[in-house]
Structure 1
Amino acid sequence: MSKMANLTCSVRYAKGVGEKRAQLFKKLNIKTVSDLLYHFPAYYEDRSNVVPIGQTSSGKRQVIQGQVLLVNQFKITKKLSVFKAAIRDNSGVIYAVWYNQSYLNKLVKKGKELVVSGKVELKFNQKQIKVEDFEFLSGDEKDNLHLRRIVPCYPLTEGLSQRMLRRIIKTNLEEKSFYLIDSLPSEIRKRYSFISLPEALNNIHFPEDFSRQKEARRRLVFEELFLLQSALALKREEHKKESGIPFSTDRELTSSFFHYLPYSLTLSQKKVIREILEDMRSFRPMNRLLQGDVGSGKTVVATLVLLTAIANGCQAALMAPTEILAQQHWLNLRQLLAPLNIKVALLVSDLPPGDKKEIRTGLKKGGIQLVIGTHALIQKEIDFNELGAVVIDEQHRFGVMQRLSLRSKGKSPHVLVMTATPIPRTLALTSYGDLDLSIIDELPPGRKSVITRWTSGSKRRQLYRFIREKLKTGRQAYFVYPLIEESEELDLKSAQEAAERLQGDIFPDFRVCLLHGRMRREEKEAIMDSFRKKKIHILVSTTVIEVGIDIPNAS
Structure 2
Amino acid sequence: MSQSEIDEILEAMEKPLRYASGHDFANLKTLKGLESYLAHWLDRAAALSVSPRSQSLLQSLRLRAQGFDLLDLAEKKARILEVQKIIHDLKGEDEAPLPCQPWPTQEEFRQSRKDLQTSIQFIKGVGPRLSEVLKKKNIVTVEDALYFLPRLYQDRRQIKTISQLAVGKIETVMGTVLQADMTPYRRRRTFELTIGDETGTLIAKWFNFNPRFMKGRFKKGMRLILFGEVRLYQFQKEIHHPELEIIEEEEPQTPDGNEGSPPGKEESLHFGRIVPVYSETEGLYQRQRLIRRIMKNTVDLFAAKEFSGIPEEICRRQNLIPLSEAFRRAHYPDAGDDLALLNEGKSPAHRRLVFDELFFLELGLALRRSGTLMEKGISFLVSHRHTCRLREILPFSLTPAQERVLAEIEADMRRPHPMNRLLQGDVGSGKTIVALLSGLMAVEGGFQVALMAPTEILAEQHYFNIRPLVEKLGLLAALLTSSLKKSEKETFYARIRTGEIHVVIGTHAIIQETVEFHRLGLAIIDEQHKFGVLQRATLKKKGTNPDVLVMTATPIPRTLAMTLYGDLEVSVIDQLPPGRGSITTRVFNEKERFRVYRLMREEIAKGKQAYVVYPLVEESERLDLKDATQMAKNLQRDIFPEFKVGLIHGRMKSEEKEAIMADFKARRIHILVSTIVIEVGIDVPNASVMVIEHAERFGLSQLHQLRGRVGRGKDPSQCLLIAQYPRSEEAERRLRVMEQTTDGFKIAEEDLAIRGPGELMGTQQSGLPDFRVANFARDIQLLNEARKEAFGIISCDPILSMPEHFFMKETLKERWKGRLELATIG
Q: Is the 8 A contact 1:152 1:206 kept in 2?
A: no
**Displacement after TM superposition at 1:410 (Å):** 1.5
When residues 485 and 284 of structure 1 are mapped into structure 2, their CA distance, relative to the original with a 3 A threshold, is closer
| Equivalences for residues 349-428 of structure 1 within 5 A | 349-428=482-561
- Aligned partner (choices 195, 212, 219) of residue 99 of structure 1: 212
Which structure shows the higher strand fraction? 1
Bigger CA drift: 192-201 or 297-306?
A: 192-201
2:455 alignment partner in structure 1: 322
Deviates more, 1:363-372 or 1:288-297: 363-372
Distance between the aligned counterparts of 1:466 and 1:553, measured in 2? 16
Q: Does 1:262 align with 2:395?
A: yes
Aligned-residue offset at 1:453? 4.6
Distance change >3 Å, CA 294–CA 172, structure 1 → 2: same
Determine if the alignment matches structure 1 residue 154 to structure 2 residue 279: yes
* Alignment of structure 1 residues 283-294 onto 2, 5 Å: 283-294=416-427
For residue 114 of structure 1, the aligned residue among 224, 228, 241 is: 224
1:103 is displaced (CA, Å) by: 9.1
Q: 2:409 aligns with which of 276, 297, 310?
A: 276
Which residue number in structure 1 is paired with residue 300 of structure 2?
A: 174
Q: Distance in 2 between matches of 1:430 and 1:128?
A: 43
TM-score by length of 2: 0.54
Q: Deviations over 1:96-147 (max 9, x none)?
A: 9983589979xx796x64325799999xxxx9999975331562554229x9
One-letter code of the match for 2:380?
F
Structure label with greater radius of gyration: 2
**Structure 1 stretches lacking a partner, 5+ long:** 73-82, 488-493
C-alpha distance in structure 1 between counterparts of 2:638 and 2:364, whole Å = 55
How far is 1:307 from its partner?
2.2
* Letter of the structure 1 residue corresponding to residue 458 of structure 2: L
- In the TM superposition, residue 70 of structure 1 has moved relative to its aligned partner by 9.9
- Partner of 1:77 in structure 2? none
Counterparts in 2 of 1:25 and 1:65: CA distance versus 1, 3 Å: closer
Aligned residues: 528
Q: Deviations over 1:226-253 (max 9, x none)?
A: 3222221111111001111111101534
Per the TM alignment, residue 331 of structure 1 is displaced from its structure 2 partner at its CA by 0.6
Alignment match, 1:437: 570
User: Quick check: 459-468 or 439-448, which moved more?
Assistant: 459-468
Query: What one-letter code is carried by the residue in structure 2 that aligns with 1:181?
Result: F
Matching residue of 1:446: 579
Structure 1 letter corresponding to 2:279: Y
Task: Please give the residue correspondences for 1:11-50 in structure 2 after superposition, counting only pairs within 5 Å.
Answer: 29-30=138-139, 32-40=141-149, 43-44=151-152
1:197-242 per-residue CA deviation (whole Å, 9 max, x = no partner) reads 3444455556672323332344444443332222211111110011
Q: Secondary structure in 2 aligned to 1:237?
A: helix
Residue segments in structure 2 that go unaligned for 5+ positions in a row: 1-109, 182-190, 206-210, 253-262, 621-626, 688-709, 711-826
The alpha-carbon distance between structure 1 residues 31 and 365, as it changes in their structure 2 partners (threshold 3 A), is: farther
Question: In structure 2, what is the Cα distance between the partners aligned to 1:40 and 1:497?
Answer: 49
Secondary structure at 2:472 match in 1? helix
Residue 89 (structure 1) aligned with residue 197 (structure 2): yes
Q: Distance in 2 between matches of 1:508 and 1:54?
A: 72
1:7 paired residue number: 116
Note closer, same or farther for the CA distance 1:198–1:512 as it changes in structure 2 (3 Å cut).
farther
Give the AA of the match of 2:269. Answer: D
Q: State whether residues 123 and 297 of structure 2, in contact with CA within 8 Å, keep that contact through their aligned partners in structure 1.
A: no
| Alignment RMSD | 4.6
CA separation of 1:190 and 1:345: change in aligned 2, threshold 3 A: same
Please list the CA deviations of residues 395-437 of structure 1 after superposition, one character each: whole Å capped at 9, or x if unmatched. Answer: 2333333322321222110111112333344442233111112
User: Residues 298 and 509 of structure 1: is their aligned pair in 2 closer, same or farther, counting only changes over 3 Å?
Assistant: same
Question: How does the TM-score come out when normalised to structure 1?
Answer: 0.77
The answer to whether the 8 A contact 1:387-1:409 is kept is yes
Q: Aligned equivalents of 1:264 and 1:200: distance in 2? A: 57
Range that drifts further, 362-371 or 430-439? 362-371
AA in 1 matched with 2:197: D
- Structure 2: distance between partners of 1:293 and 1:266: 14
Work out whether 1:230 is the aligned partner of 2:363: yes
Deviations 1:249-305 (CA, angstroms, capped at 9, x unpaired): 015344433343333333322222222122112211111111222332221221122
Kept in 2, the 8 Å contact 1:483–1:495? The answer is no
CA contact (8 A) 1:67 1:87 kept: yes
Instruction: Tell me by how many angstroms 1:314 deviates.
Output: 2.4
- Residue matched to 2:342: 212
**Equivalent residue for 1:190, pick from 295, 316, 324:** 316
Question: 2:465 & 2:502 partners in 1: Cα distance?
Answer: 16
Question: 1:492-531 alignment to 2 at 5 Å?
Answer: 510-511=643-644, 513=646, 515-531=648-664
Aligned to 1:340, what secondary structure does the other structure show? coil
2:670 & 2:153 partners in 1: Cα distance? 49
Matched ranges for 1:117-132 at <5 A: none
SS in 2 for 1:372: strand
Please tell me whether the aligned partners of residues 294 and 548 of structure 1 are also in contact (alpha carbons under 8 angstroms): no
**Cα distance in 2 between the residues matched to 1:551 and 1:13:** 63
The residue type equivalent to 1:439 in the other structure is: V
Counterpart in the other structure of 1:75: none
Give the match for residue 94 of structure 2: none
| Residues 218 and 511 of structure 1: CA distance in aligned 2, closer, same or farther (over 3 Å) | farther
Amino acid in the other structure paired with 1:337: V
Q: What is the letter of the counterpart of residue 7 of structure 1? A: L
State the alpha-carbon separation in 2 of the partners of residues 206 and 513 from structure 1. Answer: 62
| Secondary structure at 2:683 match in 1 | coil
